[in-house]
Structure 1
Amino acid sequence: MSEGQLVGVVLVSHSAAVAESVAGLALGLAGGGATAPVAAAGGTGDGGFGTSSELVSAAAAKVDRGAGVAILADLGSAVLTVKALLAEGDELPDGARLVDAPFVEGAVAAVVTASAGADLAAVEAAATEAYAYRKE
């Protein structure tokens, strides 16, 4: 898969700082070379805490390269915002998918896997597998 066709990743958080920090962490851990396109969609349009369907839509459009977009969300209303956009059908790029994964670990796994050129199903599987990471 060429760099232009990498799966995009969108990180949706109630906080712009959290979304941007997790995006930076994931990109940093993806290593050198070409990395998958990643966008943070955190907070509201006026900089407050919350979620914005407009910011999520814009982030997904920004990272869409035609290979799909994996969207990870942090908490309740962020998940609901993404689900509503997916239900509307025309607000997100074709191939956009909400990924049920832990936010930080899932984001790192998704970006690393997407950067390796994996398809959307493999990116989703890698992010979802992050639920099994043990810290004991």
Structure 2
Amino acid sequence: MLNDAKNLQAVYIVCGYTDLRKGIDSLSNIISQTYGMDPFQSGTLFMFCGRKTDRIKALIWEGDGFLLCYKRLEQKASKFQWPRNQEEVCKLTSQQFRWLMEGLTIQPKKCIQKVDHPRLV
């Protein structure tokens, strides 16, 4: 489920460290009270990462209740490239979400920039 975000309206990651012992109520309180967002937005996935960057939790409102997902990577060397700015929630594009789930950073250091109108030489 977490590797595919096609049917989601939005994906947000809560940057920094989150205590992954927290459950649905505590995570939804972080979303609403710390960041002033509505955790009851249908089709919106909120993702959290702990100090060990090999596991994440995700919370989504499905209209009749919350779905709490937990993912742990099995290979010891595998890590999510999670942004660590504590005061931030980032909205991800579908490309950034795919990169994150593949173990890549959501902000590549170097990428090819698109050009609106190429100039002819």
Tell me the TM-score normalised to structure 2 length. 0.36
Higher helix fraction: Structure 1 or Structure 2?
1
Tell me the TM-score normalised to structure 1 length. 0.33
Higher strand fraction: Structure 1 or Structure 2?
2
